[in-house]
Structures are given as structure tokens and as C-alpha cells.
């Protein structure tokens, strides 16, 4: 796989993790409210 594709895949993975973490935080905040 070429470097540009590798980098894009990495960024997409990181972004996905951020979204997952954010979603969980929002859900937990909702439970605590």
C-alpha cells in the first residue's frame, strides 16, 4: 500500500475512534443528567 493511502487510513481510524469516544461521553453525560 502506498504511503498516502496508509496515511489516509490512519487518519480515518483515528477519526472513527474520536467519534466513538465522543458518542460514549455524550451517552454517559445523558445518563448522568
Enter the pTM of the model: 0.61
Q: How far apart are CA 14 and CA 21, in angstroms?
A: 11
In tens, the pLDDT along 1-33 reads 699 999 999 999 999 999 999 999 999 999 986
Q: What is the pLDDT of residue 32?
A: 86
Closest CA to 13 of 27, 21, 26: 21
Non-local (6+) Cβ contacts of 1 within 8 A are 9
Q: How far apart are CA 22 and CA 1, in angstroms?
A: 30
- In order of 8, 20, 24, 33, the CA distances from 27 in angstroms are 28, 11, 5, 10
Amino acid at each position: 500500500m502506498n504511503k498516502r493511502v496508509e496515511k489516509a487510513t490512519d487518519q480515518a481510524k483515528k477519526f472513527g475512534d474520536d467519534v466513538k469516544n465522543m458518542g460514549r461521553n455524550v451517552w454517559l453525560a445523558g445518563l448522568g443528567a
